[in-house]
């Protein structure tokens, strides 16, 4: 029997963010996602984001896989208003469809049939503020478009998506940078700002409005959620400078021009630095320019206390002989050892 997906134990908390690094690959790892496909995937992702109440902090769509760093806030206490429900429906349904739902709701409320109104709301709200439903809807919507466009049928993704629970602060910033550096690691660009189908590329190239603003808001949240920041796009100027340092990139000299000089690869996170400080996010540039398997297969990534908290809350997933959760990162993840910890003690291709 397949084990249930591991969700953050604090997923219903309004104070502690539930953040996940989600990854999925095309079946047989075929390189079938060209520019048009990546653009469509991004559009589907943004539509699902607007519908679900989840927030994309960072993402990158490659030729045969994608990464999404997703925050899944809990459903507000008491649910959402009918007005907000209808507005969210407009993200994925036609105006005619939304009008019909609005009429159904209004009729139920007018005659005082609250049970019927609740059933109408529940048809849609069960898919909101939910990691699995977000990913399921995104993958199904894109697969239908892809199959129709390419006159094919069947599954597009090789297995169910992977997800890693990520702590806010250093872990979230590092994971966001790791995601945005995918096209650099693949040798497609020298600077992540040059890649259109990523959060950083969209944030720098998309401008201060529309999806460019949404990308900036997501990265601000990824970098500063531990400080109580929300999704304030106006903080982008300061955050972007620090974020480029996390990625090991020189600061850009002109708007719209990427600086390709790199920071010194010899920096490591100093053990004992506070997790919340931006200075402590200066990971070795060399680490983020290699595949770090902990970031895709580590199950939980964060401080030692964070990983141990997740372990204690999911004790039934492990054998009785295991005493704690946190495992020191090795191999390509060694520069982060002592600051970032993994739930899994990976020993091959780390």
Residue 206 — very low, low, confident or very high, per pLDDT cuts 50/70/90?
Answer: confident
Residue 291 — very low, low, confident or very high, per pLDDT cuts 50/70/90?
Answer: very high
Residues 31-39, mean pLDDT to the nearest whole number: 97
Q: Please state the φ and ψ torsions of residue 242, each to the nearest 5 degrees.
A: -65, -35
Residue 252 — very low, low, confident or very high, per pLDDT cuts 50/70/90?
Answer: low
- Between 256 and 301, the more confident residue is 301
Element (H, E) at 24: strand 19-25
- Give the Cα separation of 246 and 223 in Å (integer): 10
Asked whether the predicted pLDDT for residue 282 surpasses 50, the reply is no
How confident is the model at residue 209, as a pLDDT?
76
User: Buried b / exposed e across 132-167, counting CB within 10 Å, b at 16+?
Assistant: ebbbebbbebbbeebeeeeeeeeebbeeebbbbbbb
Percent of the chain at pLDDT > 90 equals 74
How confident is the model at residue 264, as a pLDDT?
43
**Average pLDDT along the chain:** 89
Query: Candidates 3.30.70.1290, 3.90.1010.10, 3.40.605.10, 3.40.250.10; correct CATH number of 19-74+155-342?
Result: 3.30.70.1290
- Between 249 and 339, the more confident residue is 339
Segments in the chain forming alpha helices (H): 35-52, 82-89, 95-110, 114-125, 131-150, 170-180, 182-185, 199-205, 210-224, 236-246, 285-288, 294-297, 304-313
Q: What pLDDT digit, counting tens, does each position of 298-345 carry?
A: 999 999 999 999 999 999 999 999 999 999 999 999 889 899 999 999
How confident is the model at residue 268, as a pLDDT?
46
Q: Please state the φ and ψ torsions of residue 68, each to the nearest 5 degrees.
A: -135, 125
Asked whether the predicted pLDDT for residue 253 surpasses 60, the reply is no
Q: What pLDDT digit, counting tens, does each position of 113-154 carry?
A: 999 999 999 999 999 999 999 999 999 999 999 999 999 999
Q: What is the 3-state secondary structure (H, E, C) of 205-255?
A: HCCCCHHHHHHHHHHHHHHHHHHCCCCCHHHHHHHHHHHHHHCCECCCCEC
Asked whether the predicted pLDDT for residue 195 surpasses 70, the reply is yes
Domain extent listing, the chain: 19-74+155-342, 82-125
The closest of 68, 49, 333 to 182, measured between CA atoms, is: 68
């Amino acid at each position: 029997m397949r084990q249930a997906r591991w969700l953050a134990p604090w997923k219903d908390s309004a104070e502690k963010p539930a953040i996940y690094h989600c990854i999925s690959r095309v079946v047989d790892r075929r390189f079938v996602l060209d520019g048009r496909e990546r653009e469509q995937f991004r559009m589907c992702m943004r539509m699902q984001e607007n519908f679900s109440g989840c927030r994309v902090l960072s993402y990158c769509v490659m030729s045969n896989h994608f990464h999404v760093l997703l925050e899944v806030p809990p459903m507000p206490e008491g649910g959402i208003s009918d007005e907000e429900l209808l507005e969210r429906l407009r993200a994925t349904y036609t105006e005619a469809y939304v009008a019909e739902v609005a009429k159904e709701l209004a009729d139920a409320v007018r005659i005082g049939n609250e049970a019927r109104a609740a059933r109408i709301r529940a048809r849609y709200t069960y898919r909101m503020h939910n990691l699995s439903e977000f990913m399921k809807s995104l993958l199904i919507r894109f697969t239908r478009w892809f199959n129709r466009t390419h006159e094919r049928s069947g599954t597009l993704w090789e297995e169910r998506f992977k997800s890693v629970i990520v702590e806010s602060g250093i872990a979230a910033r590092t994971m966001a940078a790791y995601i945005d550096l995918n096209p650099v690691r693949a040798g497609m660009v020298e600077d992540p700002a040059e890649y259109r189908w990523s959060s950083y590329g969209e944030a720098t190239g998309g401008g201060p409005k529309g999806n460019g603003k949404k990308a900036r808001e997501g990265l601000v949240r990824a970098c500063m959620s531990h400080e109580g920041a929300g999704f304030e796009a106006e903080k982008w100027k300061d955050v972007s400078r620090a974020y480029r340092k996390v990625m090991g990139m020189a600061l850009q000299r002109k708007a719209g021009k990427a600086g390709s000089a790199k920071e010194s690869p010899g920096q490591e996170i100093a053990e004992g630095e506070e997790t919340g400080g931006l200075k402590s996010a200066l990971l070795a540039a060399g680490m983020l320019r290699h595949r770090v398997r902990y970031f895709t297969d580590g199950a939980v990534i964060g401080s030692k206390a964070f990983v141990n908290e997740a372990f204690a809350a999911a004790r039934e997933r492990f054998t009785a002989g295991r005493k704690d959760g946190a495992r020191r990162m090795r191999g390509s993840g060694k520069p982060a050892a002592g600051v970032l910890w993994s739930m899994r003690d990976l020993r091959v291709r780390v």
